[in-house]
Chains A and B, each alone.
Chain A
Amino acid sequence: MDALVTTLLLGIMQGGLYTLVGLGVTLTFGVTHILNFAHGEFITIGAYAFVLFAGALGAGLALPLALVVAGGVSAVLYVVGFRRTIGNHLQGLAFSLGLLLFAEAFFVRTFTATPRSGPRIEGTVSLIGQEQMPVGRLVVIGVTIVVVVVTALAMRRTWIGLALRACGDDQFAASTVGLPAKRVGLYAFVVAGALAAVAGVCIALVVPITPATGLSFLLKGFVVAIIGGLGSIEGTFVAAMMLGLLEALGTRYVEAGLTNAYGFILMIVILLVAPAGLFNRRQVRAG
């Protein structure tokens, strides 16, 4: 029973991180129909930027700087590259795969593959019974919840959110009211880059980071975006929480070595049952 609470909290933390990553995937896909395999690198950039800036300037300044760096890189990549590939999904995919290959090897050369630790939030909190929970993890849960809620609200209430949702829904209709998908795509990439950077910072707060950190989270981001029905925010959130909890429970009570297999199996099962994902409203156009 005591262990269950800890396990659930861990699951929620993972689910929160997956939501941040999955939201970025789903947002960029919804607006531009680009599946960005380099999205995970924004996590890595955010994480390394945070660790490096925190060493030099302190964690307080490092957080906004990490967001700015990742969002900025995302914007630049969009403007010079992704924007031109809109409408040709294989080209966009190839471009993003090239970036992924480049970025990972580049990080290995620059930062080496040795894990690095960022600033740590000291202390633990006692839960019921003997269980202890590091404060850092609770902070991460808090941060992800706040960011996800703020993002969800922003998508409903702000002009940019409206633009993103409009383009995700119907690009042609959106372009007729002055929202060209290409420009709105820039917003999507910036927001996605920043969300990924938040995830990177959170990861750096609780575990050591390596150049491969981003890629491992990207896989989960893809899985939740697909399960949720590409393009759906609610779907991504639900799928991410499902995956986080499933992994935590499976690791604790079934088999720890298979942590990463659970998500994959979940994805296959859901795709077999509901081919369009859980929350997809789109219909295929024939004729």
Chain B
Amino acid sequence: MNVRGTSMRSKRTRQWGGVLVVGVVLFVLAAFVPENRVLLLNAFLAYGALVVGLDLLVGDLRMMPAGHAAFFGAGGYATVLLYQKAGLPLPVAGALAVLIVAALAALIGLPAVGRSSGFSFAIITFAFGELLIQLIANVPGFFGGSSGLTIDWGVGSDMPFDFSVYRYFSLWLVGVLVVVMLVVVAVRNSHLGLRMKAVRADENGTRGLGFNPTTYKAIAFVLASMLAGLVGVFWAPMNGFISPDTLGVNQSILLLGMLIIGGVGRITGALVGVVLLVTLPAMFDVDPVLRTVLVGLLLAIVALLQPAGIVGGLAKLWTRLRRPKTPPPADGPVDAALEPAGAGR
């Protein structure tokens, strides 16, 4: 059946190929990058995976969770606690942690996700992050309190090829990022992705076709949260330390900021955002508070002037330069994700 046409198919091939290429490049980078840059790479990988996963909500469904980092933190905390306090082997702890995050997301998401305006959703996810911080701060005996938990390396000291522990985790984090990208590409090219696109365009219209928009929003929310939790599973033992700061609303907004500044609806946008706001500031040793000031300012400006983000804006420019007369490509990514929804059906 050739319902989608050939341009669609070649685009799909390009997307899968892109993920493959990025994966190989990062893998090589992880193996050979100089020792003093390994942490920088790890930060890129973890933030990249978080932001690409977050795009499933923002780009594909126009849902704006103000507490995405909470699920990342929950994944990390759950892994550490299960490993350290319950004595489970690390892989089991990690797998359980992802399931716990899924359950939390379902619990939090269900009352919030169905409301079409998205405000309750933003607020409830926001409140959830703050609530987790409260919980951790108030049960210091178990959660380590506001000063955080220090973590034993979850892996032995004998690394293959004499890798440092950080580099060992780089390889795992490359795997995580690739998994997240594969999930996102797979969703976008599936019938589920088609339904999500339709929900984004017009919720009532999808109801009329027999789809319940709430179902698809819930699926996307739980999925994106699980991906965030997965990043936490690998980040916490790599970092050796986890504190409530990692799951606060500032982190969450930072993630949204990277995504929106880079450009929603496409993996390149998300990754460019991470490079701009995490990698470059770290390379040039920008003070973290100053960086937050800049990110905030940049986010406000980009949201106002170019809702499609930097990559989205460049893509628009490129199509305009290349094909001055024809309308933008049919299956083009969602560079209009922040533009108003098909009004008033």
Docked pose: A219 CA to B125 CA in angstroms = 11
* Stretch of B75-83, B114-122, B319-327 with 4 or more beta carbons under 8 angstroms from chain A: B114-122
Indicate whether A125 reaches chain B with its CB closer than 8 angstroms.
no
- Count of chain A residues with a beta carbon within 8 Å of a chain B beta carbon: 47
- B119 with A287: CB separation less than 8 A: no
Q: Tell me which residues across on chain B come within 8 A of A101, comparing CB atoms.
A: 250, 253-254, 257, 292, 295-296, 299
Given contacts A102-B293, A223-B127, A268-B111, contact A91 B66 (CB under 8 A): no
Chain A interface: which of B11-19, B43-51, B130-138, B266-274?
A: B130-138
Chain A residue numbers with a CB within 8 Å of B344 are 285
Q: Which residues of A contact B126 (CB under 8 A)?
A: 37, 219, 222
Given contacts A219-B126, A260-B131, are A97 and B293 in contact (CB under 8 A)?
Answer: no
Chain B residues numbered 252-279 whose CB sits less than 8 Å from any CB in chain A: 253-254, 256-257, 260
- Tell me the complex Cα distance, A8–B331, Å: 60
Check B130 against A219 for contact (C-beta < 8 Å).
yes
A104 and B257 contacting across the interface, CB-CB below 8 Å = no
Residue of A nearest to B138 (CB): A257
Q: CB-CB < 8 A to B339: which residues of A?
A: 88, 91
The listed residue (B117, B139, B254, B260) touching A94 by CB distance below 8 A is B260
Q: A45 → chain B, closest Cβ, in Å?
A: 15
Main secondary structure of the interface of B (DSSP, over half): helix
Cα distance, A226 to B192, chains bound together (Å): 31
> Interface code B124-157, partner A: CB below 8 Å = 1, 0 otherwise?
1011101100110011000000000000000000
Kindly provide the distance from the CB of B334 to the nearest chain A CB, expressed in whole angstroms.
12
The secondary structure that dominates the A interface is helix
Instruction: Give chain B residues whose Cβ lies under 8 Å from the Cβ of A275.
Output: 114-115
Q: Does A261 interact with chain B (Cβ within 8 Å)?
A: yes
Q: Does A191 contact B (CB under 8 A)?
A: no
Where the two chains meet, the residues of A that have a C-beta atom closer than 8 Å to any C-beta of B are 29, 35, 37, 81, 84-85, 87-91, 93-95, 97-106, 108-109, 215, 219, 222-223, 226, 230, 257-258, 260-261, 263-264, 267-268, 271-272, 275, 284-287
List residues of B whose CB falls within 8 A of some A CB: 58, 62, 64, 66, 111-112, 114-120, 122-124, 126-128, 130-131, 134-135, 138-139, 204, 249-250, 253-254, 256-257, 260, 289-290, 292-293, 295-304, 307, 337-340, 344-345
Q: Given known contacts A91-B338, A97-B299, what 7 new A-B pairs fall within 8 Å (CB)?
A: A37-B66, A94-B256, A100-B253, A109-B290, A230-B119, A263-B127, A264-B128
